[in-house]
Chain A
């Protein structure tokens, strides 16, 4: 200790100052509060539910954004640099922007196999897994399955449990705290699911149209199915011929509601609605996607409110 101190004192002043600045700027994980970074606001909401005041949660994307098309802005890599935990959706939802940010972050523990990475899709049953050959003539499909599972409260429950378990692993002293908060979240979620099922009961068996196949899990929860999509194939802009076909589908299936996340251009939806007699319902794409979707419960409230009108 004395030798080190002597060396520093004998350094030229500018060099010592530079060494001091460098040392103070080195990244550390000294904080008792876990820094949790998520890719979406929905995951952030669940992390806040179970993490409480032992975590600081930040989302890389915002609820008003299409999660497929987030800019890999290097300032987001700065947020990942000191992340104690990265939670992402997986199933290639963030494949267009997350990998370069993780590489730029210099944080080895949040790599795909890292101990501070939690891929939420590993905690849920995945729907729409292709069973035959896959190529891009089918559009920009997710070959590992549908990644839009956060609209389903049953799967949100699983993800919250996985986050709580991961937080307990990273912060053993808070394990009981996280389990307590998870139990409280589960209790409130169970009550909400009972209410949501009741609100959706009149819509059971109905058919709706959505822009993208992004409500698959919510429709499954509510006993509703999709008669068609505004996109002819994932990621493909609808040509007039497809919209003309879709108008026929809407009429023949008695579709009353076209659900469109509010980050999509709704011109095509409005046109189909006008020519078919259906109604367009704009819905938040995620937590924070609208003013009345501030947390996970109010987000699903907004979805259920729109879906409940599926039978008119």
Chain B
């Protein structure tokens, strides 16, 4: 369309003077480039390509159509609708630990009571906006809140391997932080992720610039600037955050892929107790016979958090490691170790619990009834500083309705 306008303008300008003589169409890429440059020069604009349209001889691509249809297609408007979907997570939860003993967690449970939970309803609206960008919007509902979990545009046509994400989104920090609840293997996030990175994910409005390096393997660098809400204990709440991430993937064999990442976040820290730096390293290995639905993945992340008043050597560390074995189309078993600094709220008048590491050992069994419905059972054994042990169980179901866009690896 732009080309038509440009040519129409040129034709009208030519027509103002002497009668225009028809010009032969450009016959080579070089001539085409020269013509584009000439047009750009005369219009005072750069010869920017419309994604997917320029540099190709012949007509511009159009959507596939039927040859004829009386009265047009009755489904035309429907074809332009975005992908809509809703994903629901519900569970029964049980623990023998008191809320104080459970420590700070996004999934607290009452002690010794089988608790029904509606963990989340996610509503997703996803579509391509125009030839230059796509839009993804995720609204989450719980029993007591509604939140814009993410709402961002992603560029599709920047040069030099660049891609921009703008809006509200999960920070490009680590592996789990960028996943929605229904993408988690386990029913809950590791406590190390919750306490050292963010209870509900490091997330906020901002901009992320990503560069895919022109190398033979996947080598991507992210630089983001966001207003985030880190961790449980941030006295000044929202903080401006700079995030950097390097993620690489290598094909070790037809049946093995290795992903390694390094992440770093720097917080503007007006208070001494605010977070200042957060570092993370992650590794992911997937073994899969291409002819099989089964696979094994090994994944781990470590996190280090430094507050403004701390030196780097005083940083707090934590992390998790997990193994997932997808047996076949329907069954999956998994195990996870999670080590996190024990942080809790002590009720007034009670003695503080000793500091240290809270270790969680979780097993998980998953049954996939279909691609759109899974049921999970997750028992966990908790070791709390001071010699207190306890357990926690989640029986979860999750289903999706509608069309939900495919997830990245």
Contacts and interface: CB of A to CB of B under 8 A. Distances in A.
Interface of A: 25-27, 61-62, 64-66, 69, 71-75, 77-78, 81-82, 95-100, 103-106, 108-117, 119, 122, 136, 139-140, 169-170, 172, 235-237, 262-263, 265
Which 6 residue pairs of A and B lie closest in terms of their CB atoms, listed nearest first?
A114-B52, A108-B51, A108-B157, A74-B218, A64-B291, A122-B64
28 contacts: A25-B214, A25-B215, A26-B214, A61-B290, A71-B257, A73-B251, A74-B220, A74-B259, A75-B257, A77-B212, A78-B217, A81-B161, A96-B406, A99-B406, A100-B406, A100-B408, A104-B212, A104-B408, A106-B158, A106-B161, A110-B52, A114-B52, A115-B55, A115-B56, A119-B64, A236-B370, A263-B291, A263-B292
Contacts of A139: 370
Interface string B352-395: 00000000000000000011100000000000000000000000
B107 interface: no
Chain A contact residues, majority secondary structure: loop
Among B52, B62, B213, B370, the one with the most A-chain Cβ atoms within 10 Å of its Cβ is B52
A95 B154 CA distance: 19
Contacts of B214: 25-27, 81-82
Contacts of A140: 370-372
Contacts of A98: 406
B131 A113 contact: yes
A235 B215 CA distance: 37
B185 to A, nearest CB: 15
Contacts, number: 134
Question: How big is the B interface, by class?
Answer: 35 or more
Contact of A65 (B157, B291, B329): B291
Among B58, B215, B330, B408, the one with the most A-chain Cβ atoms within 10 Å of its Cβ is B408
Contact of B251 (A75, A112, A263): A75
Interface string B44-78: 00000001111111101111100000000000000
A75 B52 contact: no
B60 A115 contact: yes
Given A26-B214, A75-B217, A106-B162, A111 B405 contact: no
A136 to B, nearest CB: 6
Interface in B208-250: 212-218, 220, 249-250
Contact of A72 (B54, B58, B329, B408): B408
A117 B57 contact: no
B18 to A, nearest CB: 33
B286 A71 contact: yes
A97 B254 CA distance: 17
